A and B are shown apart, each in its own frame.
Chain A
């Protein structure tokens, strides 16, 4: 199995940009997916295949990839973006793994 490592927390003021990284060896070969989970709710997919945004997800959410690190960027952060964020990937044997999670606090 492999691991995906995220920073435990990120703090950002409203209107500023939040960047959340996710690192893991497998990310150089496999796509990453990002989920937002608000308190007491099930997760919601906000980015798939590293950079794609599902329908209904605001344009302020974007993804990028470089080597073994992927990044979720939230531009113009709003209070409603306060949540936990998880990256996720899939290895060659169709085993899924979630990152360690990052708590985004809007100051």
Chain B
């Protein structure tokens, strides 16, 4: 079965960067985009962007351009999301996910990684 396993919780200071990993298994890693979605406490879902593990192509939400970097290592079926210049507003649960693609009902989520920005 498809599994997306994320790295553990992080606590960072304002201005720092955080890098979250997402290890995929149970399917062909290069066959499906990996998306990153975050959810601040008590707030809604916010799409951050996707990476195409096959080509390395990316598409970032306008809000995060210049601050987010998505990468992948196909040798270990792992995707990464790095967010820089953190502020208190970046405190959230960060999910990696496979979302619908080409109209297909693809729906797999990691367990979420809590990132807390605190001084």
Contact = CB atoms under 8 A, between A and B. Distances in A.
Partners in one complex: yes
Contacts of A84: 44
Contacts of A1: 61-63
Interface stretch (B16-24, B74-82, B104-112): B104-112
Contacts, number: 57
Nearest to A46: B107
A101 interface: yes
B45 A96 contact: no
A1 B111 CA distance: 28
Contacts of A96: 35, 47, 50, 99
A68 B8 CA distance: 40
Given A1-B61, A86-B44, A95-B59, A44 B107 contact: yes
Contacts of A65: none
B26 interface: no
Contacts of A98: 37, 44-47
A101 B39 CA distance: 12
Contact of A52 (B37, B44, B105): B105
B105 A48 contact: yes
B96 to A, nearest CB: 10
A42 B99 contact: no
Interface string A25-62: 00000010101010000111100110010100000000
A54 B105 contact: yes
Interface string B87-114: 0000000010101100111010111100
A65 to B, nearest CB: 14
Interface of B: 35, 37, 44-47, 50, 59, 61-63, 95, 97, 99-100, 103-105, 107, 109-112
